Amino acid sequence: MTMLEDRSTTNAKLNSKVPAGALADKWDTFKANAKLVNPNNKRKFKVIVVGTGLAGASAAATLAELGYQVDAFTFHDSARRAHSIAAQGGINAAKNYQGDGDSVSRLFTDTIKGGDFRSREGNVYRLAQVSVNIIDQMVAQGVPFAREYGGLLDNRSFGGAQVSRTFYARGQTGQQLLLGAYQQLSRQIGLGGVRLFNRCELVDVVVIDGRAAGIVTRDLLTGQVTSHAAHAVVLATGGYGNVYFLSTNAMNCNVTAAWRAHRRGAYFANPCFTQIHPTCIPQADETQSKLTLMSESLRNDGRVWVPKNADETRPAHQIPEEDRDYYLERLYPSYGNLAPRDISSRAAKRLVDRGQGVGPLKNGVYLDFSAAINRLGRNVVEERYGNLFEMYERIAGENPYQVPMRIYPATHYTMGGLWVDYELQTTIPGLYAAGEANFSDHGANRLGASALMQGLADGYFVLPYTISNGLAPLLNKSVPGTDHPEFKRVEAEARDRYQAYINVKGTRSPDYFHRELGKIIWDYCGMERDRNGLEKAISEIPALYDEFKKDLRVTGTGEGVNQTLEKAGRVDDFFQLGMLMCKDALTREESAGGHFRVEYQTAEGEAQRDDENYCHVAAWEWTGDANNATRHEEQLSFETLQLATRSYK
């Protein structure tokens, strides 16, 4: 298969709808010309929001505050358990409180450059614009951001930036932000603006006459499959990093909502753009089922190094400075230990592959705080990172105040996702995607502390403005209810699918197949990819998928709690996604950000883009065969920034 065999012309559905005019004016132009819904008419519209993380909770609360009827769905017992709560380090905003030269324009530039010029200028500039509002919003909600001695909000730095623009709440920023959004959601639940359906998992999207009409869910406590109709559906269901099995994501994170929407006609964009986070606790053994993130904020004061000698056996504190390789400071002196995630991860991998890794399995590098402790004192370091140090010690059994942490890259975030336009609408009218579930803002690599920024931007400040464009034309028009035959048909399909998992009665658990699938994708579509490996994965995954269909064992029944059955459905979708990821990586014959094809690299081992052939978004259309999706392109144009080779030297 050659690259040209999978190329196609730009599809008419891929209209980004970015307003014309100067970049700085596009968002204001959009808001000035958007269709509006009268306040008294808003209550005539129902909006379904799936997911209650930062994007989902903020969208549901804000839409209800505006007057829309909102039904919010989560498969957790509480909306507070959404995975946004696990984010540690901080949230970016172009406030320039430090007076160090930050601005909306600089945040925009850093984000485009960090994403290796594979994202839309219009969407990214809007993200930078509304970032300044997010902090005011969350402070007003009582989020306890860190403050300086005088009471002003504090900032720290994250990778890919030379300014301090990251606001934080110790090492639990995601938790505090989610509690802020959750209290607004809870307020609307109490007022009757939002109905919350917990322990309900989306198992399909219903499309009638080319428009999203609602969803079908499965109650995780009773197994009951039911339909829910609405004028618009918002998917805020996070990313698909768990396709690798081992990741920093919570065990229940999955792609099912986005994938089921994809199967109903929503294009899936850039699935091979996945992010490997450089600071995670290394895998301890082959039976491990979860990896743990250590916040990127630690690289503000921690220095990353490995022994220069691959045969080094001395403990870290006995290795003198002249025998240490502070490789990020050596390779990228301008950014040092705060080089972007994709670059830092590959640098660590190269050294571990050369045998310079540390730890019992020699599968990590050191993150050393001794210099910071000597310079600032232990108390200051403890104030900044105390809870992270405690978490590391509980897991690794080592005290990072006394010995360096051991870290290694791990799957963390996915830049790919459902294709959306400037209004966050997918290729299915009436179906929107927010936060990590969409592809829109981060290109081929996300900068640290920008996920929380995007989730809250989409939920609080973008979707509430854009959704009225789709709803206004529907005023006083009838829309299909759950008694429509299509709802009944999709319900029946869902019941049959879950019963089919039970009926296989094989010998292997869903976890077995998930682990084996994850190994294939990690080995051939992980931190490094090449043509031979990707072609091997594309042949191996369907074979394993066939085995899954014939030898899956799901114990119990579909009535009542059955976590094995839940997992079977999610793994099924991961198989299909995995095929598409590998095909996307194979057809993108360049290196860009987190997508590193070893055939396309500079003499110094950095990513080598091909702007002539691949300066576009690859958006995939479901054809009924996961291995034969149709590839469409949305061309990316850069009117403000000039395409340039990234350099963090």
Q: How far is CA 312 from CA 273, 282, 309, 316, 328, in A?
A: 36, 19, 5, 10, 20
Number of CB atoms found within 10 A of residue 479's CB: 18
Which position has the token pair 């300044």? 132
Q: Are 131 and 457 in contact (CB under 8 A)?
A: yes
Instruction: Copy the structure tokens of residue 154.
Output: 């504090």
Q: Cα separation of 56 and 424, whole Å?
A: 13
Query: Which one from 303, 341, 346, 588 is the annotated catalytic residue?
Result: 341
Write out the H or E segment, with its range, that includes residue 325.
Answer: strand 324-325
Instruction: Copy the structure tokens of residue 262.
Output: 């994809």
Q: Are 367 and 279 in contact (CB under 8 A)?
A: yes
Which position has the token pair 């919010």? 72
Q: Cα separation of 296 and 328, whole Å?
A: 14
Q: Cα separation of 431 and 212, whole Å?
A: 6
Respond yes or no: is residue 170 known to be catalytic.
no
**Residue 550: is it exposed, middle or buried by C-beta count within 10 angstroms (0-12/13-18/19+)?**
exposed
* Residue 289 DSSP class: -
| 3-state DSSP percent of the chain in helix, strand and coil, to 5 | 40, 15, 40
As a dihedral over the C-alpha atoms of residue 26, residue 27, residue 31, residue 35, rounded to 10 degrees, the angle is: 70
Q: How far is CA 457 from CA 73, 122, 142, 413, in A?
A: 20, 14, 18, 18
β-strand partners of 618: 633
**Residue 525: is it exposed, middle or buried by C-beta count within 10 angstroms (0-12/13-18/19+)?**
buried
Instruction: Copy the structure tokens of residue 282.
Output: 């290394």
Helices (H), ranges, 450-509: 451-456, 463-471, 485-504
* Residue 508 DSSP class: B
3-state secondary structure 522-551: HHHHCCCECHHHHHHHHHHHHHHHHHHHHH
Q: Cα separation of 223 and 200, whole Å?
A: 9
Instruction: Copy the structure tokens of residue 507.
Output: 């010998």
* Residue 222 DSSP class: T
Write out the H or E segment, with its range, that includes residue 226.
Answer: strand 225-229
Catalytic residues: 341
